[in-house]
Chain A
Amino acid sequence: MNGDRFRPNDKRRRRAGAIFKAVCLTSIAFSILMLALLLLDVVVDGWSWLSIDFLTRYPSRIPERAGIKSAILGSLWMMGLTALFAFPTGVGAAIYLEEYAPKNWLTRILQTNIANLAGVPSIVYGILGLAIFVRYFGLGRSVIAGALTLALLILPVIIIASQEAVKAVPTSLREASYGVGATKWQTIRYHVFPVALPGILTGTILSLSRAIGETAPLIMIGALTFIAFPPTSPMDPFTVLPIQIFNWTAKPQAEFHELAAAAIIVLLVVLLAMNATAIFLRSRYQKRI
């Protein structure tokens, strides 16, 4: 009979809770809706333009004859070279920071610096690439200049992901290796690295999927938009899928917008495949530990 005194405004408080929960759900629904709208927009616009011919033809001023062969090959070159530069450097830096670095001011600076680099806008990396690789080293508007720029861009992401993976390797493994007489490098090479590898690969693939979607830094280093041939060496000029998409989207004609949508579908499929690979690696890795 005294219950009322201990439950003041109970109904109102529960109603406020229900409203709040509905607001939160609406937010989630908003994100899902936006993703759905974006995908729908792209698929509706671009689906009818997708064909084998679209994938195997070179860009053209005439929409009906345009294709993305040079963009696809350019993106593959870009991805391969970027991985070649960024993977060893990133993993090396991560191993240094986790296994070798003494706890001093220099290490703290390295670590803070990496965290800050991850937040630098990609277009600033483009300015860096333009000044250093394109002009100072004289690499010109080449695949290699683009790949070096993108490698610097994704390096912090690879380092941070690899550090997490190396950190997750149990210390007992290292101790056992030292116990049988292995040196530090042998321990890392044969015991720490193989166990950390799936985590490192997951981080690398995710960061590469970011690199393959990057546009701004490559525009900065002067990646040409109308390239009717694929690169045959790292010193060749190039175009990539996002630049081709940007080029077509920036045109006023609706046909070119639809071509852009078709190219976006191809780009998203590639990204999805890379993400699926990363998730697959992650789940396998989680099962093993």
Chain B
Amino acid sequence: MNGSSPGGAASAALPPGEPLDLSHRAGRRWGERVIAAALFLCGLVSVLTTVGIVVVLVTESAGFFREIPLLEFLTGTRWSPLFADQHFGILPLLNGTMLIALGAMLIALPVGLTSAIYLSEYASLRVRGVIKPVLEVLAGIPTVVYGYFALTFVTPIIRAIFPQTGIFNAASGAIVVGIMIIPMVASLSEDALNAVPQSLREAAYGLGGTKFEVSTKVVVPAALSGIVASFILAISRAIGETMAVTLAAGATPKMTLNFLESVQTMTAYIVQISLGETPHGTLEYSTIFAVGLVLFLITLGMNLLSQRITRKFREVYE
């Protein structure tokens, strides 16, 4: 080894045969562990959030279920916690929620799916470049704005067609919630359709299929698990929607399938109580936690179902 060669200076500084001094790296390792632990804690926040939600809903509604039997809560057909004649049957709220979700689905599923098929199978790049941002803007509009739209635009139209309809009605809420979740159905279904390999389409064309036949008989069935998963997520979103239905659908919990009547959803009920004067700690107030627990369990169940469908029934193409 020669001191004059380039790069030799560094090695000359080390006595031959002795290992590199890496103690500075070991010193860094202590800090490394602290950082790794801190990052892990950040990840833990999300778990704590879930634990917090479950603990709060269960403990706060425990008082409610001590006074009202679970069976009465789940099967009762009258909901009137704020009246002198109190009834605590959640079915009317579930009815209102499902009526809105059903109406929203009647709009969002067909429109969302056909939009997705158009975007994935028919649209040119330029058309996609226009439509995708429109859908993104629709998805980004705050729900309270949809509530305003329902009340000041959709409701007057409905009342012009059906004059006996009240200011608050399920139809108006269902229509705007449907519009609100179109982008969700469209973009998730489009992802599923795009994931279908091109070779499948080419094979179908090779057999003489028209574009319509290839799209509906080959591509859509191949992407069906993703499409169904997007539907379920959208229904779950419609069930949890709050502001638009609070503003448009009213505050009348009742058992009805008539879209022209005023109903109350679970979410709208929770808002009504939190805006009102009901004091904390009373049985009336604890209803929001019981209703919140039901809402949480329904949406969680649907989200898990959607993930399961995606995992279990996904067609894997190599």
Contact = CB atoms under 8 A, between A and B. Distances in A.
Interface of A: 6, 13-14, 16-17, 20-21, 23-28, 30-32, 34-35, 37-38, 41-42, 45, 88-93, 95-97, 100-101, 109-110, 112-117, 119-128, 130-132, 135, 152, 155-156, 159, 181, 183-186, 206, 209-210, 213-216, 219-220, 222, 242, 245-246, 249-250, 257, 260-261, 264, 267-268, 271-272, 275
B218 interface: no
Nearest to B111: A27
B307 A25 contact: no
A100 B39 contact: yes
Given A110-B43, A275-B136, A216 B247 contact: no
A166 to B, nearest CB: 12
Interface residues of chain B: helix, strand, loop or mixed (majority): helix
A127 B242 contact: no
Given A124-B53, A264-B148, A219 B43 contact: no
A109 B35 CA distance: 22
Contacts of A209: 140
Interface of B: 25, 28-29, 31-32, 35-36, 38-43, 45-47, 49-50, 52-53, 56-57, 60, 110-112, 114-115, 117-119, 122, 131, 134-138, 140-149, 151-153, 179, 182-183, 186, 208, 210-213, 215-216, 233, 236-237, 239-243, 247, 267, 270-271, 274-275, 280, 288-289, 292, 295-296, 299-300, 302-304, 307
Nearest to A26: B114
Top 4 nearest A-B pairs (CB, nearest first) are A121-B240, A213-B142, A92-B42, A17-B212
Contacts of B35: 185
13 contacts: A6-B208, A17-B212, A21-B118, A23-B114, A24-B115, A31-B134, A31-B183, A42-B149, A96-B36, A113-B46, A120-B296, A123-B240, A184-B32
A20 B216 contact: yes
Interface of A is mostly: helix
Contact of A210 (B140, B182, B242, B275): B140
A210 B141 CA distance: 9
Q: Most B CB atoms within 10 A — which of A123, A181, A186?
A: A123
A114 B44 CA distance: 10
B247 A222 contact: no
B43 A13 contact: no
A213 B118 contact: no
A220 B149 contact: no
Nearest to B280: A135
Name the residue in B42, B46, B47, B300 with the highest tally of chain A Cβ atoms < 10 Å from its Cβ: B46
A124 B58 CA distance: 13
A147 to B, nearest CB: 15
A127 B38 contact: no
A117 B267 contact: no
Contacts of B46: 93, 110, 113-114, 117, 155-156, 159
Contacts of A32: 131, 134
A123 B271 contact: yes
Given A92-B39, A122-B242, A41 B49 contact: no
A38 B145 contact: yes
A25 B144 CA distance: 28
Contacts of A100: 36, 39-40
Given A31-B134, A109-B47, A121 B267 contact: yes
A25 B41 CA distance: 48
B155 to A, nearest CB: 12
Contacts of B303: 115-116, 119
B144 A131 contact: no
Contacts of B31: 185
A247 B117 CA distance: 40
A45 B304 contact: no
A37 B176 CA distance: 12
Contacts of A117: 46, 49-50
B57 A116 contact: no
A249 B56 CA distance: 31
A215 to B, nearest CB: 5
